[in-house]
Amino acid sequence: MQVLSTIAALRAARRGIGTLGLVPTMGFLHRGHLSLVERACAECGAAAASIFVNPAQFGPHEDLGRYPRDLPRDLRLLEQAGASLAFVPDAGEIYPPGFATRIDVGAVAEPLEGAARPGHFSGVATVVAKLLNIVQPDRAYFGQKDAQQVAVIRRMVRDLDIPVEVVVGDTVRDPDGLALSSRNTYLTPGQRARAPALHRALRSAEALFAAGERRAAVLRTAVHAALGADAELSVDYVGVSDPDTMEEIERVGSRALVSLAVRLGRTRLIDNVVLSAS
């Protein structure tokens, strides 16, 4: 595996590779990231992963400064997963002096995570557009764990005619249901023990949906009620929305995204499930 930290070196290395899948990450890798790398290798024949803690997608009071980092371990894991290229730029390489352009993806970026984290998706879209231009992969791999990010990137790729196929991998979970996240490392043992409540709450919506419930308000209330059973959990939002536009819906048709954000102490966790009538 080649490890490159400049755009010029990355471009030179990429020229020697045919079909390529890219997995953008912020590092501190876990099985969720690695499942995407392995899938990119299997489907494209070669995979690149980027590791970049993108300052542009963090708000002023968020966890940019303490975001977990372990580059030697990440590189070992990427190599084991079969990646051919690791792109590890520093912030000056991605945002040199004078950098000014931002991508605003519009309505899909506004509700839910976009409302809770102003500017977040503009930062995500901008860095993903740059990574796609730098690496020029045939396919780019993202996790369903960040469902609104997927919708934002799909919108951007369509709107800007970026020649890449967006591929979405299932959310990888611990056996107790907690979605893997680099931020899980912030949890104290007591908070970690409470965290499976997020997935349990989402499953209560799935169970209602399976039993025929189609009213979004009822599904939302059930998720709130399940989360409300634990006073240590503070709910940012519970959404029942169209998975493509992120618009809140009143009745679930063939598909809906149930998503939530919860605070456990200082740590903010997100998760979602897709309800599908098929």
Kindly list the residues in this chain that would bind ligand AMP in the complex (CB under 6 A).
Answer: 25-26, 32-33, 36, 142-143, 145-146, 169, 171-172, 179-182
- In angstroms, rounded to a whole number, what is the distance separating the alpha carbons of residues 70 and 190? 24
CB of 225 to ligand AMP, least distance (A): 25
CB of 142 to ligand AMP, least distance (A): 4
Q: Toward ligand AMP, which CB reaches closer, 182 or 259?
A: 182
Q: Catalytic: 33?
A: yes
Residue type, 213: E
Q: Toward ligand AMP, which CB reaches closer, 84 or 148?
A: 148
SS (HEC) of 203-224: HHHHHHHHCCCCEHHHHHHHHH
CB of 266 to ligand AMP, least distance (A): 17
CB of 217 to ligand AMP, least distance (A): 28
Q: Toward ligand AMP, which CB reaches closer, 176 or 228?
A: 176
Q: Which of 33, 61, 199, 224 is catalytic?
A: 33
Q: Toward ligand AMP, which CB reaches closer, 133 or 225?
A: 133
CB of 173 to ligand AMP, least distance (A): 7
Nearest of 250, 254, 256, 253 to residue 273 by alpha carbon: 256
Q: Toward ligand AMP, which CB reaches closer, 126 or 171?
A: 171
Query: And the tokens for 201?
Result: 């709450």
Q: Could you give the residue numbers annotated as active site?
A: 33
